[in-house]
């Protein structure tokens, strides 16, 4: 459709696409209706004409619905800061818990250092015992 209108030098001023399941339609506002009708007809596209006034009526209806739903939007905006504060407090609480757990647990490296220190101490004790035993045996 785009290439057919482009080849005919038809400018699209506004458009609306609507999809319903696997089907849909496109509403266009073009600068040259006659050229657009010829291009779409030659391209094998199904089309129908509507006055732009009808589209303005549809737009006015949408604006009225939005105005009616404005109160609902305001309510959501009022709830949003409360939810945000609740989420912040929950995240801060979880962060504090994680930090407390990380401070309280031993890392693998800490355990390795303790084991090496114990092995070193055992080696020193064995060295002293063997040294005393050699000294006593050598006499």
Provide mean pLDDT across the span 103-124. Answer: 73
Provide mean pLDDT across the span 29-37. Answer: 86
What is the sign of the dihedral through the CA atoms of 59, 60, 65 and 67? positive
- Compute how many other C-beta atoms are within 10 angstroms of the C-beta atom of residue 111: 10
pLDDT band at 69 (very low <50, low <70, confident <90, very high): confident
- 40 pLDDT more than 70: yes
- The pLDDT value recorded for residue 9 is 92
- The pLDDT value recorded for residue 48 is 81
- The pLDDT value recorded for residue 118 is 80
- Compute how many other C-beta atoms are within 10 angstroms of the C-beta atom of residue 26: 13
- The pLDDT value recorded for residue 60 is 74
* Domain range annotation of the chain: 2-51, 108-139
pTM for the model:
0.36
- The pLDDT value recorded for residue 15 is 75
């Amino acid at each position: 459709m785009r290439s057919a209108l482009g080849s005919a030098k038809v400018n699209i001023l506004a458009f609306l696409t609507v999809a319903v399941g696997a089907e849909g339609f496109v509403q266009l506002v073009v600068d040259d209706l006659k050229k657009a009708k010829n291009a779409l007809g030659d391209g094998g596209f199904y089309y129908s004409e509507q006055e732009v006034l009808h589209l303005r009526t549809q737009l006015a209806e949408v604006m009225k619905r939005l105005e009616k739903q404005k109160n609902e939007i305001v309510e959501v905006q009022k709830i949003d800061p409360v939810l945000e504060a609740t989420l912040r407090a929950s995240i801060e609480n979880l962060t504090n818990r994680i930090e407390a757990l990380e401070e309280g647990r031993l890392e693998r490296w800490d355990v390795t250092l303790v084991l090496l220190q114990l092995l070193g101490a055992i080696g020193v004790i064995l060295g002293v015992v063997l040294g005393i035993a050699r000294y006593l045996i050598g006499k």
